[in-house]
Structure 1
Amino acid sequence: MSTAIVWFRRDLRLADQPALSAACAAHERVLPVYIHAPHEEGAWAPGAASRCWLHHSLVDLQSQLREQGASLHVRRGDSLAVLRELVHATGATAVYWNRLYEPTAIARDSTVKAALREQGVEARSFNASLWCEPWQRETRQQAPYRVFTPFWRSLRTQLSVTAPSTRPSIHGLEVADGLPIDALELLPAIPWDSGLREAWRPGERGAREALEVFEDDAVTDYATARDLPARHGTSRLSPHLHFGEISPRQIHHALAARVSAIDARRRPDIEPFLRELGWREFAHHLLYHFPATPTANFDRRFDRFAWEADDNASLERWQQGRTGIPLVDAGMRELWHTGWMHNRVRMVVASFLCKNLRQHWHHGARWFWDTLVDADLANNTLGWQWVSGSGADAAPYFRVFNPVSQAQKFDAQGEYLRRWLPELRDASPPLLHEPWKDAALLKRSGYPAPMVDLGDSRAAALSAYQSMRGA
């Protein structure tokens, strides 16, 4: 009776799960395994919010496997050593897994694959998280893409609405010495995660629910609603995608099916949303081809940019949502409470840190890494380098997001600001957007005065940029 091990990582689902499907098709028994090895991820081990999400996602996966008559074998330690032990204990002749694309994961997986094959064990990996492997797209000059639009144009022509695979029948087996999920100690010792639990349902079932809500409501006007932070106009699928609880192919197929069922005269355009998924693919393309970018400027001219000296006091005020700029503060408080922030607001708070405060983008990337439930190295790196001006296809450095005009345009009545800034709840919209114009309001509410003058700090940032270009 042949046995295979399926090594789960950030592919925590049973449907459209190529490694699991291949193992079940080729072998009579399958052992699903999760190995907790944060030390193997180096400097980018999961942050606190990600660990919370991972706990609940593993619980959901374990529940679904048990419904199938199987069980998730949980271990902690060195991945290769654990896999070798399990091969010996079960007599497994094959180990299957789905690929990850971070530099440390690629190096680790290559070592594991070579070692297992040397041992005579079949080792196979699959693509479960992307439409297209990062090495499958290149320019006409046979080089990696550096600009999104031609990348998307190339990728879009290759996308087909193929039906994702369903969950396979699993004939599992039990192995001794597995750990309970609680033993991984992923949840905080001092509970601070109530907001995350209120806002999210991690796991494959939660991903399906989020997709159904998006299909029913938001997709019909996504192109406009996605910019309004007070509305649930975005898909909110990013953490589910990061943990592999749903795949881009599943999302694409479900949306295409829903749209095709609507009368052609009223049929919504899902292209703007697919394009956002394309940005996710572009981020992985860049990280694969330029693996130093999580810490190094893509545009090396920024190595000589005159950032302000590290300012812990300013950084803490930004982190705590106490900058005195309402849209920035609302976004940072939403992040702390829910582990997530609306995408447009992410751009605003990042611009404020990198340009108005002129703090290095590393500080923001690290804070997002620890506090976002969808913290993804590829997306996080692309986003911060894009806003700072140092990345591939970056926003021009002279594009400095004005938090006041952004709030006036996309939160005109202040619904989002009032939700996260209760001390300003009674302010009328003009003052809600610029509370420093009324000293009595600041005194009465306790809301802080702005850390910096938006106009002066913008001018200083542009001057620093011009000096860098002239150096």
Structure 2
Amino acid sequence: MWHRPPSLARPSVSLTCRTGRIGLPHVAGTQLRLRGSGRRSASRVMADANSGAVDSRNGPTMLMWLRQDLRTHDNPALHAAFKAATAKQGRVALVYVWSPEEDTSEVNPAPGGAMRVWYHNALAALDAKLKHTYGAGACIIYRHGPYNEALLQVAVSLGARSIYANRRYEPTMAQTDARVTRQLKQSGVFVETFEGFLLHEPQQIAIDMTKWVGHFGTLTPFSLAVSKLPPPPKPLPSPPHLPTHPLPPSSAAGGVALEQLGLARMPRCPDGSQIDWSKGIKDAWDFGEDAALELLACFVSSKLRQYETKRQLADARAVSRLSPYLHSGELSVRRMYHTMAQANARQISKTAWRRVLWRDLAYWQLHHWPALIRDPVRTHYSAQRWTDTATRGGRGAAWLKAWQLGRTGFPLVDAGMRELWATGWMQQSVRMVCAAFLTEYLNIHWREGAEWFHDTLVDADLAINAMMWQNAGKSGIDQWNFVMNPLSNAQDPDGNYTRRWVPELAALPTKYVHCPWEAPAKVLADCNVTLGASYPHRIITDLRAARADNSAAIAEAKRAAAGQWADAGGYDLIVVPKGASTTYDGTRMRIFTKREWRIRPNGELAAAETTTSGSGEKSGRAGGGSVAGATTG
């Protein structure tokens, strides 16, 4: 089950996770019974149009159903609606339906609190742009779900028989869309869907493992498989104009105000005052496609040349920060791809160019493992021993809460987690430091981290989040083969990122800002730092022993199942899903396994573990190793 994170205590305010704070109930596999029949004929639909509907005598209305495509540029569904309306002397109307219950299941969690705030503001930005560019009639019609009922009512009101939508790829969303499409078709309203969220359709990518180019499911063989497909289409321009209704169609179509959807409803204290926890997010970001395109231009013109050498820095000076715009569809990934190609990104930064594909890789994994957020890809890792976090007052629950609050006593981890809570984002390498600390050093289940990130990230992409956390927990296709040391200064060499987010330590010399317990008592006193008071003590002190315990827990689970799920070399085996490979569908294939867990079927270790060079767990001064992120930032 997908459980909510435990409640958090802030000074004078008792808060739960952001999803809970804004009142969205968790619904697992909800099936909604629609009010009224969904089986009316097209003639009946049109006959039912009430007298207050907007006149459509000049031609039919083409209804564009907005979802994860909050933009006008390179929007295939909007472009198709525009072309159809122009050809038939009709009109275009845009609708957004909020019905998260229909998209939620045990393997598809409801939108988190930070993401809901982002969507509220992104919709407001798009609405303003549409009205400014195309006139008042281009305003978005906002409706509560269920989808079928809301869309049918809007179609009836506006005289629409065609709905245009861009595809969604999260498993429950895709199932919901297929059901709604069937229901609407029975009522004489037809839905046409388009590719536009990814560079390549996941079902079109089959990895050829007949020649060795890398481990199955990792980026190199995936990139080779993608290279054999046609290149992504050139991005479409924004429609030069939209033939919209002469008056805003929202009232006639039963629309409500954006605020009434409740996406960003803030909680209130007992005295009636509002707790606006979203202020940090709104202060940290500009919303809308214009802001996204400006960030893309900045990345290509100035940051791209720094990416290869500075992408790991916590202050994000060399990364794009485009991930939330890609997730909400304020930026077309095809626009990003072709803009980077025109700027010779492949030659300037091989890493940045390769990382454009990481998003497609994540959705390819989600397509073939739809329970990626819940079930280990290496199924035998399900039996791994984890720290108990369910017992109230226990050590594990306290550790998890300290991690969520950014009060672990490890400054870089705390800085990252505080930035996440305040702004809904943190740089990829810092995410990995925080993820590794939770899974490798606290031995807390990766699902706990995935849940927290899903609730607090403005770019909470199910596929990328699940892939990253599975790999961090070592149960994913590509186990992290490096150490992300929480004491490393590689991500924050001058300490300024840590000082910004952990101001209690701001006065410390750089030498001690990542390890204040090493500072002499006089230095601490001079800098007004009191460990255990102004800044917490470390929740664990022996990093090497903690990481060894996590390694032993993985080895125990692996050894118990090695007879069935390990090959002669000790590598883990998985069953290749249908369509994922050109030749190995339904058969077992080995995947990359870190050396320390290459346990043969007889239970013996295939090779002695080699110590990671410069892991720095004792001194805490070395770098964290190479990393691979899901996007360019």
Q: TM-score, normalised by structure 2?
A: 0.70
Partner letter of residue 466 of structure 1?
A
Match of 1:216 in 2: 301
2:491 to 410, 428, 433: 410
Q: Return the alpha-carbon distance in structure 2 between the equivalents of residues 463 and 393 of structure 1.
A: 19
Match of 1:263 in 2: none
Q: Return the alpha-carbon distance in structure 1 between the equivalents of residues 151 and 538 of structure 2.
A: 54
1:287 to 361, 366, 384: 366
Deviations 1:162-215 (A, max 9, x none): 541111121123142211111112222420122211211121111112112212
Match of 2:98 in 1: 36
**Does 1:394 pair with 2:456?**
no
Match of 2:126 in 1: 61
Q: Return the alpha-carbon distance in structure 2 between the equivalents of residues 339 and 178 of structure 1.
A: 30
Task: Indicate the RMSD between aligned Cα atoms, in angstroms.
Answer: 2.0
Q: 1:6-405 counterparts in 2 under 5 A?
A: 6-27=64-85, 28-43=90-105, 44-67=109-132, 68-69=134-135, 70-140=138-208, 146-158=217-229, 160=231, 163-168=234-239, 169-173=241-245, 174-175=249-250, 176=252, 177-187=254-264, 188-189=266-267, 190-259=275-344, 269-310=348-389, 311-396=396-481, 399-405=482-488
**Which range moves more in the overlay, 336-345 or 307-316?**
307-316
**Which range moves more in the overlay, 37-46 or 3-12?**
37-46
Q: Return the alpha-carbon distance in structure 2 between the equivalents of residues 400 and 219 of structure 1.
A: 26
Partner letter of residue 128 of structure 2?
S
1:427 to 508, 530, 550: 508
Q: Return the alpha-carbon distance in structure 2 between the equivalents of residues 25 and 335 of structure 1.
A: 42
Shift of residue 344, structure 1, vs aligned partner: 0.3
Q: Return the alpha-carbon distance in structure 2 between the equivalents of residues 97 and 295 of structure 1.
A: 28
Q: Return the alpha-carbon distance in structure 2 between the equivalents of residues 389 and 410 of structure 1.
A: 22
Stretches of structure 2 that go unaligned for 5 or more consecutive residues are 1-58, 268-274, 390-395, 561-633
Largest Rg, 1 or 2: 2
- State the SS of the aligned residue for 1:55: helix
Shift of residue 410, structure 1, vs aligned partner: 2.8
**Which range moves more in the overlay, 176-185 or 439-448?**
439-448
2:539 to 447, 451, 468: 451
Q: Return the alpha-carbon distance in structure 2 between the equivalents of residues 404 and 159 of structure 1.
A: 45
Q: Return the alpha-carbon distance in structure 2 between the equivalents of residues 161 and 378 of structure 1.
A: 20
Partner letter of residue 148 of structure 1?
L
Partner letter of residue 377 of structure 1?
L
Q: Return the alpha-carbon distance in structure 2 between the equivalents of residues 39 and 307 of structure 1.
A: 31
**Does 1:461 pair with 2:532?**
no
Deviations 1:35-90 (A, max 9, x none): 01111121511111111111110001111111212111110110011111122222
Q: Return the alpha-carbon distance in structure 1 between the equivalents of residues 377 and 398 of structure 2.
A: 28
Shift of residue 331, structure 1, vs aligned partner: 0.5
Change (3 A) 1:81 1:320: same
- State the SS of the aligned residue for 1:233: coil
Is residue 199–residue 232 contact of structure 2 (8 Å, CA) maintained in 1? Answer: no
Deviations 1:256-297 (A, max 9, x none): 33349xxxxxx9614322321211111011111110111111
Partner letter of residue 99 of structure 2?
A
- State the SS of the aligned residue for 2:370: coil
Q: Return the alpha-carbon distance in structure 1 between the equivalents of residues 232 and 477 of structure 2.
A: 29
Change (3 A) 1:145 1:248: farther
Q: Which runs of 4+ in 1 moved over 3 A?
A: 156-163
- State the SS of the aligned residue for 2:62: strand
Q: Return the alpha-carbon distance in structure 1 between the equivalents of residues 493 and 199 of structure 2.
A: 37
Change (3 A) 1:7 1:342: same
Q: TM-score, normalised by structure 1?
A: 0.93
Is residue 429–residue 491 contact of structure 2 (8 Å, CA) maintained in 1? Answer: no
Q: Return the alpha-carbon distance in structure 2 between the equivalents of residues 338 and 279 of structure 1.
A: 23
Shift of residue 2, structure 1, vs aligned partner: 2.1
Name whichever structure is richer in helix by fraction.
1
Shift of residue 400, structure 1, vs aligned partner: 3.9
Partner letter of residue 281 of structure 1?
D
Deviations 1:2-32 (A, max 9, x none): 2211100111001100001011101221110
Is residue 225–residue 233 contact of structure 1 (8 Å, CA) maintained in 2? Answer: yes
Shift of residue 337, structure 1, vs aligned partner: 1.1
Shift of residue 419, structure 1, vs aligned partner: 1.3
Q: Return the alpha-carbon distance in structure 2 between the equivalents of residues 234 and 375 of structure 1.
A: 18
Q: Return the alpha-carbon distance in structure 1 between the equivalents of residues 347 and 224 of structure 2.
A: 21
- State the SS of the aligned residue for 2:409: coil
Partner letter of residue 536 of structure 2?
P
Is residue 219–residue 268 contact of structure 1 (8 Å, CA) maintained in 2? Answer: no
Is residue 99–residue 145 contact of structure 2 (8 Å, CA) maintained in 1? Answer: yes
- State the SS of the aligned residue for 1:138: coil
Is residue 134–residue 284 contact of structure 1 (8 Å, CA) maintained in 2? Answer: yes
- State the SS of the aligned residue for 1:427: coil
Q: Return the alpha-carbon distance in structure 1 between the equivalents of residues 263 and 450 of structure 2.
A: 22
Is residue 220–residue 268 contact of structure 1 (8 Å, CA) maintained in 2? Answer: no
Match of 2:49 in 1: none
Q: Return the alpha-carbon distance in structure 1 between the equivalents of residues 347 and 356 of structure 2.
A: 17
Shift of residue 161, structure 1, vs aligned partner: 7.0
